[in-house]
Amino acid sequence: MPTKRRTAKQADYRAWRWAAALELEQRHNVRAGIIPERVWRQLYIKGGTPQDAADQAAVSAYNKQSVADRLKRR
């Protein structure tokens, strides 16, 4: 049975996502696990840096909160 080999693009995505998740947790205090994988993929395809992705992912996480939870953060 052949083993799966990672392509360079897959390895690049994983490294990029790891860096973006780290930025998200450090800069915005948001756990990376609450961001859906499809959002990470869309941000990667756009070609932004991990820092840009962390900023956009934080907005995505913030918008998913209820209005009452958003007001608590202020």
Say what the pLDDT of residue 8 is. 60
Q: Give CA–CA dist 57/31, Å, rounded.
A: 10
Q: pLDDT tens digits, residue range 34-66?
A: 898 988 999 999 998 999 999 999 888 766 655
Does the reported pTM lie above 0.75? no
| Burial class of 60 by CB neighbour count within 10 A (0 to 12, 13 to 18, 19+) | middle
Q: pLDDT tens digits, residue range 7-27?
A: 666 669 999 999 999 999 999
Say what the pLDDT of residue 21 is. 95
